[in-house]
């Protein structure tokens, strides 16, 4: 009997990934091809979309070979990838310039221009967000201002994963979760915003049709089938941006279940049944990959990256396990030592590129072990900032926090997070991230599961639980307001040193 497999593709900043799962949600094969990154000027970040395509083709072929599978067995394809990147094509589908990526910082002036043309409060109410340098809209305005000859030839704007969709199917399309991350989207209407497009003078014809995450957008073309080994006519579903697809991958698809990703950066992601918008734009509000569902998201720029910095700079001879084992001996609160984790500026709750990190409360008693403990606690406090904003936005009760990412491997850090947030923290069996979520969306699109929550209930299982410890909860409740007071007190210092 022929197997039914579902393919998830993921174009991240570092690699092009292809993941195959079966009808039980088991991972059958996974292959990743590294991707080059270009930084032609300080603060710029670019990639050639044709490298994405070559990488995805290689990864799909390798995943099929490793699974011993044929294209006939792949029943649907789901797509995910880095959000916000600007891919500009001409009228014939040719790439006009390297893609400008999510972590490119060249567009501060264009963000100000957007807020002026639309009005800051109005822009937040339409899109759910402030215009930040990472988003797609200001990148379009930058090209118009600085590369008018490129802009004059533009005919199509695509996100990174949707360039792969175009190459796989020959058709333009995108999903509503990824499209919301362009900030050209009407969050409540779940479609492109005529008002924003008109104010910014961006042609609506440049933007593809939007579909829900598990909805079929197109099918594999004969040309792509010959290159990849997939079968021509295989359905391709909408998919989602990496954060939304990653939330599907860990089952954060219904209100009350929050996803916390403790990677180099930290992300707090909460599903909502209606579009909640934080009035000052301190949280991101986007559409989810789950139909008629939205999400709130807080992003912390230096989460596990803070511990990486501390180890590399002050304890290079210690492994992370040794470092956290020594930190575990230090009592909660690190004897009054606080760490502000803004090593690369911050995004939530303070969208401030000149925010800086610091230890506050150092005494002669504090050694590296206490400092390591303070780093773990400071990151937890920073992630709690996003959770508090979500509660203030009307999120409702949080019943469970599902944690993933490299930092989540530390039992001590998981306990600190549970205590700081006073919430049960769990890990789950699925560890393949956004590509897994994309494959699950493909399975829903193919009819294996009736909907996304049903699919996640079937394949995502809790494997470990951490419950808050009351005495440590009390300690952190006392310290958290002190942590919250650090940024306002130090903001003038940050501005002064940056100048």
CA separation for the pair 324, 407 (Å, rounded): 11
**Which member of 10, 22, 162, 242 is catalytic?**
242
CA separation for the pair 191, 210 (Å, rounded): 7
- What is the separation of C-alpha 20 from the centre of its chain, rounded to a whole number of angstroms? 21
Residue 7, phi then psi, degrees to nearest 5: -105, 130
Q: Is residue 415 within 8 Å of residue 466, measured between CB atoms?
A: yes
Please measure the distance between the N-terminal and C-terminal CA atoms of the chain and give it in whole angstroms.
68
The residues pairing with 426 across neighbouring beta strands, listed in sequence order, are 402, 465
For tokens 């769990």, name the residue. 426
- In this structure, the number of other CB atoms found within 10 A of the CB of residue 194 comes to 11
Sequence-separated (6 or more) residues with CB below 8 Å from residue 489: none
- What is the separation of C-alpha 17 from the centre of its chain, rounded to a whole number of angstroms? 16
242: annotated active-site residue: yes
Per the rule left: phi > 0, alpha: psi between -120 and 50, beta: everything else, 334 is left
CA separation for the pair 434, 416 (Å, rounded): 26
Q: Is residue 80 within 8 Å of residue 240, measured between CB atoms?
A: yes
CA separation for the pair 420, 474 (Å, rounded): 9
- In this structure, the number of other CB atoms found within 10 A of the CB of residue 385 comes to 21
Q: Is residue 105 within 8 Å of residue 43, measured between CB atoms?
A: yes
CA separation for the pair 77, 8 (Å, rounded): 6
Catalytically annotated residues: 242
């Amino acid at each position: 009997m022929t197997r039914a497999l579902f393919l998830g593709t993921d174009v991240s900043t570092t690699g092009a990934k292809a993941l195959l799962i079966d009808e039980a949600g088991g991972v059958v094969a996974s292959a990743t091809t590294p991707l080059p990154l270009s930084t032609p000027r300080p603060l710029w970040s670019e990639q050639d979309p044709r490298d994405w395509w070559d990488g995805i083709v290689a990864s799909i072929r390798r995943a099929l070979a490793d699974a011993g599978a044929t294209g006939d067995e792949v029943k649907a394809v789901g797509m995910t990838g880095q959000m916000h990147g600007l891919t500009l094509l001409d009228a014939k589908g040719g790439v006009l310039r390297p893609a400008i990526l999510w972590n490119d910082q060249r567009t501060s002036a264009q963000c100000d221009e957007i807020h002026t043309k639309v009005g800051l409060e109005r822009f937040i109410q339409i899109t759910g967000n402030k215009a930040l340098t990472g988003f797609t809209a200001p990148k379009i305005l930058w090209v118009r201002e600085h590369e008018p000859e490129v802009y004059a030839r533009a005919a199509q704007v695509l996100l990174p994963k949707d360039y792969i969709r175009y190459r796989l199917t020959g058709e333009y399309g995108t999903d509503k979760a990824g499209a919301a991350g362009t900030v050209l989207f009407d969050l409540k209407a779940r479609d492109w915003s005529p008002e924003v497009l008109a104010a910014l003078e961006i042609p609506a014809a440049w933007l593809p049709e939007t579909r829900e995450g598990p909805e079929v957008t197109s099918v594999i073309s004969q040309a792509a089938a010959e290159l990849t080994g997939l079968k021509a006519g295989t359905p391709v579903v909408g998919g989602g941006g990496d954060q939304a697809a990653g939330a599907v991958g860990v089952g954060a698809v219904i209100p009350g279940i929050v996803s916390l990703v403790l990677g180099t950066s930290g992300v707090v992601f909460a599903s909502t049944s209606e579009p909640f918008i934080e009035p000052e734009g301190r949280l991101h509000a986007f559409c989810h990959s789950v139909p008629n569902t939205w999400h709130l998201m807080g992003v912390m720029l230096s989460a596990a990256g803070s511990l990486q910095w501390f180890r590399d700079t002050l304890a290079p001879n210690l492994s992370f396990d040794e470092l956290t084992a020594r930190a575990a001996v230090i009592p909660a609160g690190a004897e009054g030592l606080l760490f502000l984790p803004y090593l690369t500026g911050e995004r939530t709750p303070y969208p401030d590129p000149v925010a800086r990190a610091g230890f506050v409360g150092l005494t002669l008693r504090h050694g590296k072990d206490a400092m390591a403990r303070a780093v773990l606690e400071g990151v937890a406090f920073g992630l709690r900032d996003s959770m508090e904003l979500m509660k203030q936005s009307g999120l409702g009760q949080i019943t469970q926090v599902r944690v993933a990412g490299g930092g989540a491997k530390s039992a001590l850090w998981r306990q600190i997070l549970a205590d700081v947030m006073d919430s049960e923290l769990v890990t789950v069996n699925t560890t393949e991230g956004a590509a897994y979520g994309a494959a699950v969306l493909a399975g829903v699109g193919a009819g294996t599961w009736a909907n996304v929550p049903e699919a996640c209930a079937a394949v995502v299982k809790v494997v470990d639980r951490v419950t808050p410890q009351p005495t440590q909860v009390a300690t952190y409740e006392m310290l958290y307001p002190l942590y919250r007071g650090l940024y306002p007190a130090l903001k003038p210092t940050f501005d002064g040193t940056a100048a």
